[in-house]
A and B are shown apart, each in its own frame.
Chain A
Amino acid sequence: MKILVPIKRVADPDNANKVKVSADGSRVTSEGLEQKVNPFDEYAVEAALRLTENGATQSREGEVVVCSVGPKDVAQTIRGALAMGAERGILVDGADDAMDANVIAAVLEKLYAQEKPDLVVLGKQQVDGDSNQVGQILAERLGLPQATFANSIELADGGKACVVGREVDGGVLRVKVGLPAVITVDLRIVGSKAIANGITPATHAYPDAPRYASLKGIMSAKKKPIAEHTIASLGVTEAPRIEYLKFELPPKRAAGVKVESVQELVEKLHSQAKVI
């Protein structure tokens, strides 16, 4: 089985409160913040690795190709995924500002045509833009079945289909999709028994988290190939369809008011807050 995993780097989500808006309001700036792989994408890499290995013996039984679109230094983000165990990387050079979900999906469509994977597995959304669209647009462009918000994936029908558990309001919806397909993953996809590939013994329990890149993994990642393209060299001509007009921070909250009595509180809740 061959899986294509698109990943993106984002400003360190643990320091998201340090993200600023540029003085002219034209863009969000994250200068000085460490760039990390989007957490949902890291989960997608983990899910793809679990689908293509024997978890008990740690032998690789398939191929995971990781790709990313962005400036040249996303190579480091790709290396991180290769260090976790992915086989190859593809870097598509492009400026962060000149992209939206539609452009990314168009790029991935071309990579799909080159690679012909059995599955595309990606994070359900990026924690910076939060648009939650790339997987869906890609599936539409490719005419492939899609299963979004996956919290479990089980290979079925001798590897010709997947049964995917989807996070939905109030429960889990199980759907079966024929391969090839596009799957976007949610947090619980890294649960210890979330992936069943028919190779890893059912008794094997993974840790409830994506794996650490081992030192040997890091050393071998140095030797793994990362192919480079540009958006133009792939023949993608799509322009972003979304135009950002202006960014501004939420207004600062006004200071609270101290009240002297219950009477006054009730009055204010009625006349000012208008909640009673």
Chain B
Amino acid sequence: MAFRGVDYYEIGELLSDEEKLVQSTVRSFVEERVLPDIARHYEAGTFPESLIGELGQLGLLGAFIDGYGCAGMGPVAYGLILQELERGDSGLRSFCSVQGSLVMFPIHSFGSEEQREKWLPRLARGEAIGCFGLTEPDFGSNPGGMLTRAQRTKDGFVLNGTKRWITNGDVADVAVVWAKLDGMVRGFLVEKGTPGFSARRIHGKFSLRASVTSELFLEDCLVPETALLPGVEGLRGPLTCLNSARYGIAWGAIGAAMACYECALGYAMDRRQFSRPIAGYQLVQHKLVEMLTEITKAQLLCLRLGRLKESGRLRHTQVSLAKRNNVVQALHIARMARDILGANGITYEYPVARHLLNLESVYTYEGTHDIHTLILGQDITGISAFE
């Protein structure tokens, strides 16, 4: 039986025809092209590279950008895309978040016309892959402390520093690298093969195994004047990108949660212990109801968030609230699903442990759960608790 989604409050009614069509298209794509193979990739620790071209052809890369070969979808449609992709796997959704929100978005928003023309159509088609270099080994939640430096020379800029936990880092054709130039954070487009630029894959992950994670090294890496993103200065640059990505993550987490809930519900109906299906026991029903309730709340949060974004009124703290809530709830849901599945829950046969472990990363990346708590705490009290 095909996946019909979880829609207890008939939220589907609030979507436009176009949004529904986007959702059903991506849902079929995930059902037919992603799910049959994703557990094998996860176990092998490989990204399903063969899907990149298809993601491009469907228009799922940078879908919210208007022009340059992109579809120009609204924020709700973009959210639904990421939700459906993450029902497949958080790694796949991460790929699209990075390519769209963290690479294409800054090139589109802060890049020169030449940079846009050069990169956006290829990135949209999936012919080029991008990565986003902000986090450093010693600077995660505090990006402003970054050590990576850019120095102006007569030929351009010389970059020095290390970036870590970079999705797609060692497969990327272009890296959006953030570095301090005269004390001010600036963005640079560093192309694969630039002398002094190298990347190394990070192995040994329990989480996001169907996703490439890398470390980037910049050692006297000389980039031309045209590598600089001219349109932004300061942390506002990377933080705007992260805000767009976090918006997508809030939606994506719902996809992972729905996958876990559906799986747990089906399993509980089939699995008999003592005299009847375990779905007939109060403790199991309680878990299933908790899961459904949190999914429904998360869906309503996201839809409202999307409509706010559409009307240009979205505040970044509102995104923090949704990312913070939806990811932690998805994580709880994945754990409850694992519990309901018993021993089967830890195998590759079922998606729940995969989602559970993936969500541990999602909980931490793009602003940890705790950092979003402090962002919101500061917003409502006016008092910063960061330092």
Contacts and interface: CB of A to CB of B under 8 A. Distances in A.
Find the residue from A76, A214, A218, A222 having the highest chain B CB count within 10 A. A218
Interface in A1-51: 12, 14-15, 34
B4 A15 contact: yes
A26 B316 CA distance: 55
B2 A14 contact: yes
Interface in B25-77: 25, 28-29, 32, 57-60, 63, 71-73, 77
B64 to A, nearest CB: 10
A212 interface: yes
A124 B58 CA distance: 28
B336 to A, nearest CB: 26
Interface in A217-245: 217-219, 221-222
A139 interface: no
Find the residue from A14, A80, A209, A219 having the highest chain B CB count within 10 A. A219
B315 to A, nearest CB: 27
B21 A83 contact: yes
B21 A212 contact: no
A215 B1 contact: no
A216 interface: yes
A215 B59 contact: yes
A214 B58 CA distance: 4
Interface of A: 12, 14-15, 34, 75-76, 79-80, 83, 209, 212-219, 221-222
Find the residue from B21, B63, B73 having the highest chain A CB count within 10 A. B21
Given A14-B2, A219-B71, A212 B17 contact: no
B95 to A, nearest CB: 16
Given A79-B17, A215-B59, A34 B4 contact: yes
A218 B28 contact: no
A150 to B, nearest CB: 24
Contacts of A214: 25, 57-59, 71
Contacts of A76: 17, 20-21
A123 to B, nearest CB: 18
| 3 A-B pairs with least C-beta separation | A215-B59, A215-B71, A14-B2
Contacts of A216: 59, 71
A266 B60 CA distance: 62
Interface string B231-259: 00000000000000000000000000000
B157 to A, nearest CB: 36
Contacts of B81: 215
Nearest to A18: B1
Interface string B1-29: 11010000000000001101110010011
A213 B21 contact: yes
A12 B32 contact: no
Nearest to A220: B71
Contact of A80 (B21, B57, B60, B72): B21
A77 B94 CA distance: 31
Contact of A212 (B25, B73, B77): B25
A71 B73 CA distance: 28
A12 B18 contact: no
Contacts of B73: 215, 218-219
Given A212-B25, A212-B29, A213-B25, A218 B4 contact: no
